[in-house]
Amino acid sequence: MKYSKDPFGPFSSASRPYLGGFTLVEMLIVIALTAVLAAVALPSFNSLVERYRVVSKVDALGASFSLARVEAIRRGATVSVRSRGTSCGLTASATDWTCGWDVQAGSGATLETLKSEGPDARVVIGGGDAVISFDAFGRSNDWRCLDVRPQRKGGKSIQIILSQGGLARRQEDGVC
């Protein structure tokens, strides 16, 4: 039997190679720091997501106005963008666009829906009339301003301003 010079035997730290890794204390410190950073960043992330929802609805509304205008010119007839009003139970007014909208051509029995946009309960769209029409020259029946904002109070809003010429532009944090 061989005798080792190591007084603690073959299982001491001096006789085995360093395997690397983290101690439990180091891991707990990393987890605690990650939790603190996540708690600080989460409110900023929520407002960013909220902002993207509003921008998404503004883009969808602008695209619907552009589609209606182009189709009115192409068809040589009136094309309308109609609010769904109170049909989803989220709103209290027929001129509220929160429940979504439809782009429609024709009238009566020949009414054709060209595009539909559904509701998003996290975004409120208000202002204007329940129907915005474009004539055969692509002009709007009147200028309109629609306010798009998050459901949460204090969130930043974006306005879509539609000119009588039928062109839509966006304005941030203005007043309709």
pTM of the model: 0.73
Give the domain extent around 34: 24-172
Closest CA to 53 of 118, 126, 117, 122: 122
**Cα(146)–Cα(1) distance, integer angstroms:** 92
Over 70: is that where the pLDDT of 14 sits?
A: no
Is residue 92 in some structural domain? Answer: yes
Residue-level pLDDT at 11: 56
How many separate domains does the chain show?
Answer: 1
Would 110 be classed as within a structural domain? yes
Task: Tell me the torsion sign for CA atoms 109, 111, 113, 116.
Answer: negative
Whether residue 17 lies inside any domain: the answer is no
In this prediction, residue 155 carries a pLDDT of 78
Note whether residue 109 is domain-resident: yes
User: What would the pLDDT profile of 125-167 be if each residue is shown by its tens digit?
Assistant: 887 778 889 999 999 877 888 888 888 877 788 999 888 888 8
Indicate if the pLDDT at residue 7 is higher than 70.
no
